[in-house]
């Protein structure tokens, strides 16, 4: 990509055959990500690090930046009449906004927030679904029902990663584009288009300290990787684990590999660790749009029919041939 071409996010979206309302939603999300990037960049100077002193619906301690990022995403998408309702990791129930809006927006406002106090990359993950025409917003339970659509219905998905550069990875169902935040103009500029996950993989990402809790198929798969050149895979693998899904997935989009957060004995009752609707589904759409694959081990993540807004799921995603090797161990 030649940066001198200077294709901004707005121009990129204007060249896609998308409804104006969807363009507007994506530009609002990008604007919120710029605000979050600025806040994260200030860090200790703005007094935004550390705990908020509250728990979210999942029983996890909220960081101040979890709450602030959530508020920024809500504020950026609350007007314009395009978003019917929003749902987030940090809110128990969906927040209805504009009953006649065309879209539902789901997000993890700050992913990898355990990394924030040690100055390691974090991100924002988002998913856009169509709003059902007959949606009922009169109660929390009815509003939740409107959101319970499989990932195959997503019309757009992406993440912002707040790292050495702030990047925005986006798909509208027509490949994956990556934009870099130009801090002088506060705009996202296209720096990679039609991203393809490299096929040749020698890198895997999993929290190995959970090994004793894993099920047999994941143990078998990782054991084969660890045997390296002398094992069945006949090559040495390298391991990376940032513990921010955005950073681990971004590495895979950039240089290949596989990411696993499988259901295990500790999280089985919850269904896994990562959330289906605002972590697994948007990442699965991006990965598939870049030529990769995303599975629970037994079915495509995008085909899982959600039963609950905050449902968790087993996640295996990355280069297609490597994901196929992991699926084979589940056979």
Residue ranges that bind ligand AHG, judged by CB under 6 A:
60, 89, 108, 111-114, 207, 243-245, 261
In whole angstroms, the minimum distance from the beta carbon of 108 to Mn ion comes to 4
Q: For residues 90 and 322, which CB has a smaller minimum distance to ligand AHG in the complex?
A: 90
Of Mn ion, ligand AHG, none, which one does residue 101 interact with (CB within 5 to 8 Å by kind)? none
In whole angstroms, the minimum distance from the beta carbon of 114 to ligand AHG comes to 6
Q: Please tell me whether residue 322 binds Mn ion under the rule CB under 5 A.
A: no
Q: For residues 57 and 328, which CB has a smaller minimum distance to ligand AHG in the complex?
A: 57
Q: What are phi and psi of 294, to 5 degrees?
A: -140, 125
Give the rounded distance of the alpha carbon of 321 from its chain centre. 22
Which of positions 57-96 make contact with Mn ion (CB under 5 A)?
89
In whole angstroms, the minimum distance from the beta carbon of 102 to ligand AHG comes to 27
In whole angstroms, the minimum distance from the beta carbon of 112 to ligand AHG comes to 4
C-beta atoms surrounding 15 within 10 Å: 9
Binding mask 104-143 for Mn ion (x = CB under 5 A): ----x-xx--------------------------------
What is d(CA 146, CA 65) in angstroms, rounded to the nearest whole number?
A: 28
In whole angstroms, the minimum distance from the beta carbon of 244 to ligand AHG comes to 5
Tell which residue, 252, 228, 81, 263, has the closest CA to residue 178. 252
Q: For residues 176 and 274, which CB has a smaller minimum distance to ligand AHG in the complex?
A: 274
Tell which residue, 325, 319, 323, 327, has the closest CA to residue 200. 319
The CB-nearest residue to ligand AHG is 245
Show the tokens assigned to 274.
């990562």
Of Mn ion, ligand AHG, none, which one does residue 261 interact with (CB within 5 to 8 Å by kind)? ligand AHG
Q: For residues 94 and 101, which CB has a smaller minimum distance to ligand AHG in the complex?
A: 94
Of ligand AHG, Mn ion, none, which one does residue 203 interact with (CB within 5 to 8 Å by kind)? none
In whole angstroms, the minimum distance from the beta carbon of 28 to ligand AHG comes to 21
**Are 56 and 66 within 8 A, CB to CB?**
yes
Q: For residues 69 and 149, which CB has a smaller minimum distance to Mn ion in the complex?
A: 69
Q: For residues 62 and 201, which CB has a smaller minimum distance to Mn ion in the complex?
A: 62
Show the tokens assigned to 165.
């550069």
In whole angstroms, the minimum distance from the beta carbon of 261 to ligand AHG comes to 6
Of ligand AHG, Mn ion, none, which one does residue 207 interact with (CB within 5 to 8 Å by kind)? ligand AHG
């Amino acid at each position: 990509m030649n940066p001198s071409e200077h294709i901004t996010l707005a121009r990129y979206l204007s060249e896609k055959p998308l409804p104006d309302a969807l363009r507007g939603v994506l530009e609002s999300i990008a604007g919120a990500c710029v605000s979050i990037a600025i806040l994260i960049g200030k860090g200790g100077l703005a007094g935004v690090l550390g705990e908020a002193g509250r728990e979210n619906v999942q029983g996890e301690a909220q960081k101040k930046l979890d709450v602030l990022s959530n508020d920024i995403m809500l504020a950026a998408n609350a007007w314009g009449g395009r978003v019917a309702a929003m749902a987030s990791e940090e809110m128990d129930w969906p927040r209805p906004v504009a009953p006649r809006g065309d879209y539902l927006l789901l997000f993890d406002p700050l992913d990898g927030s355990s990394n924030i106090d040690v100055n390691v990359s974090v991100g924002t993950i988002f998913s856009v679904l169509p709003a059902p025409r007959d949606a009922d917003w009169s109660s929390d339970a009815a509003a939740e029902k409107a959101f319970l659509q499989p990932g195959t219905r997503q019309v757009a998905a992406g993440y912002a990663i707040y790292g050495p550069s702030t990047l925005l990875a986006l798909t509208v169902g027509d490949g994956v584009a990556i934009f870099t935040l130009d801090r002088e103009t506060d705009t996202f500029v296209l720096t990679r288009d039609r991203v393809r996950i490299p096929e040749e993989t020698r890198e895997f990402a999993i929290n190995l300290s959970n090994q004793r809790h894993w099920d047999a198929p994941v143990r078998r798969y990782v054991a084969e990787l660890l045997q390296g050149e002398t094992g069945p895979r006949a090559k040495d693998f390298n391991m990376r684990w940032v513990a921010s899904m955005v950073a681990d997935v971004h590495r895979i989009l950039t240089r290949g590999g596989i990411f696993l957060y499988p259901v295990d004995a500790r999280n089985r009752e919850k269904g896994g660790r990562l959330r289906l609707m605002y972590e697994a589904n948007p990442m699965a759409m991006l990965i598939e749009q870049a030529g990769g694959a995303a599975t629970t081990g037994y079915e495509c993540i995008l085909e899982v029919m959600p039963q609950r807004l905050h449902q968790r799921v087993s996640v295996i995603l990355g280069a297609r041939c490597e994901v196929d090797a992991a699926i084979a161990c589940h056979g």
